[in-house]
Structure 1
């Protein structure tokens, strides 16, 4: 479910409690990159450590859906239910995840720190804006703008008291909102013993770690010959020869390679082209000489997905 992916993506990137006093937009714009980095670091935990019940809306293009989320932490483990409130009824339960698990997004942000000419800040400008109000709560807004054409921008509103991400807008280079995730009701006064939704199916979690930190990629015959600067290879515990995933701390994209199916006349079934849904794109390129086709999927501009897909090369046997 796309909304489940959005919630997980937010939990990979943001969280933790903080309190900050802002007098005006003008004063808030003077905050340094280091302060913005600290806010991102603090945000890494709040989504995962708080007990709360919420109603959220999730908009992709002209399609709007709403969900009820219940999140609790018991004995250091996360339990979360996600219930669809419109359309076909779908319930998911996500549980048993250690809240101390490290993910590549926040880890990269912490490693890069607040130096404007290092890591994360080579590729994004971060501004702390003035106060906002989301879901009836006071919030602080972060504007994250890409410094190149290979990334999307973000407008994030965080709860002033807890640091919980209350609203996320993903925007293109022209400032158009591609996708929006927003709390419309938030109740932080719930018990850790809050029951999960009955008869919901479990969502398994696969831990992802940056390449070179804890896990190394297995040998592959293929690899992208071009990846935007700042993206780092990340792999799951169960390495997959048919897939590679990259992140820059905010954006995530994956490259998938599959066997190419030909018609009886010997023509490839797969045609080159791209698709977009909200902030997510996919671009597919066929490699007939290799009997394979590659698809790049991620929350990046179509230009990025296309260039990565077309850059794939194969080792000589």
Structure 2
């Protein structure tokens, strides 16, 4: 489940070893919980001042996990996912889905993440009528955002998550308004009549070899995927590189300009930033665009670090 936070300051209480140990335990329970439990509920999603509401069902049967997400307001939209792969989606949703849906997060690895984030229990709360433990996930540097998670006492699943920028401002909110573990029927996770099959290349594959690499990445970020595809507009080859630290994810797109006149740009909508930089190379100018949920300064530094040549250096 995608994670997101609003920090509660409790002073010296946070430094007590017993609570640090409990935080590590809660993170491990969260990492283990999601793929093993059936549940259903409704949640609200807030981003850039806009709200939407959704219903979700997950049915776990042995090694198989099937999920259905249904948008409850605005244009009707739904998606059905089987073992992490999208099976069907309505037309509006199909244009948005990629290798993972925007409301989910890839498998957590708490031991690795502890190098880049600190975990701290900050108290107890109540979400959707259920007792929860509030957990702060704080970055150890200025190159990534922090989270506050409210984990269900019974299931360890996140019933509320908040994403904060480097100054502590709320960027994104995910919060259940109703949550019921267990008791999900097969019919609950079947797509409706408008849910059309979606063909996406989500299976595991070797990284596509590219001539581009980054000379600098924040500690912990590694290359997790890459590809080269023709641009829909110019048909020129566009290089795509994807990096992650285990929570945050960044995409880099590199497109030849062929003499086109374009300006550098930077923008931010909620937690998502987009930075475009014109870079000169021996083969001509290219436009490097970095998109991800990281601070603007970090995105700009990554864009300016892109180089043509050797394979991606290990971090």
Q: TM-score range by the shorter chain?
A: 0.7 to 0.9
- Looking at structure 1, the residues matched to 136 and 42 of structure 2 have their Cα atoms a distance apart, in angstroms, of 24
- 2:210 counterpart of 1:220: yes
Cα 1:121–1:92 shift into 2, 3 Å: closer
Check whether the contact 1:93–1:202 (CA below 8 A) recurs between aligned residues. no
- 2:21 counterpart of 1:40: no
How far does residue 216 in structure 1 lie from its aligned partner after superposition? Answer: 6.1
Cα 1:173–1:27 shift into 2, 3 Å: closer
How far does residue 59 in structure 1 lie from its aligned partner after superposition? Answer: 0.3
Check whether the contact 1:73–1:79 (CA below 8 A) recurs between aligned residues. yes
- Looking at structure 1, the residues matched to 296 and 13 of structure 2 have their Cα atoms a distance apart, in angstroms, of 36
- Looking at structure 1, the residues matched to 42 and 275 of structure 2 have their Cα atoms a distance apart, in angstroms, of 33
Aligned pairs (5 A) from 1:1-317? 7=1, 9-10=2-3, 30=16, 31=18, 33-97=20-84, 106-107=108-109, 109-110=110-111, 112=112, 120-195=113-188, 196-199=190-193, 200-202=195-197, 204=200, 206=202, 217-235=207-225, 239-241=226-228, 242-260=239-257, 266-268=259-261, 270-289=262-281, 290-315=284-309
Question: Can you give the 5+ residue segments of structure 2 that lack an aligned partner in the other structure?
Answer: 5-9, 86-104, 229-238, 311-315
Check whether the contact 1:169–1:178 (CA below 8 A) recurs between aligned residues. yes
TM score, norm. by length of structure 1: 0.76
Question: Can you give the 5+ residue segments of structure 1 that lack an aligned partner in the other structure?
Answer: 1-6, 14-23, 113-119, 209-214
Residue by residue over 1:251-295, the C-alpha shift from the partner in whole angstroms, topping out at 9 and shown as x without a partner, is 1112122232x5xxx442x32111212111111112354343221
How far does residue 149 in structure 1 lie from its aligned partner after superposition? Answer: 1.3
Cα 1:191–1:149 shift into 2, 3 Å: closer
Provide the secondary structure at the position in 1 that maps to 2:277: strand
Query: Superposition RMSD on alpha carbons, in Å?
Result: 2.8
Residue by residue over 1:154-211, the C-alpha shift from the partner in whole angstroms, topping out at 9 and shown as x without a partner, is 1111001100111110001111100011111112242342432312235657256xxx
TM score, norm. by length of structure 2: 0.76
Of the structure 1 ranges 270-279 and 163-172, higher mean CA displacement relative to structure 2 is found in: 270-279
Check whether the contact 2:209–2:227 (CA below 8 A) recurs between aligned residues. no
Q: Which has the higher strand share?
A: 2
Cα 1:223–1:251 shift into 2, 3 Å: same
Q: What is the number of equivalent residue pairs in this alignment?
A: 270
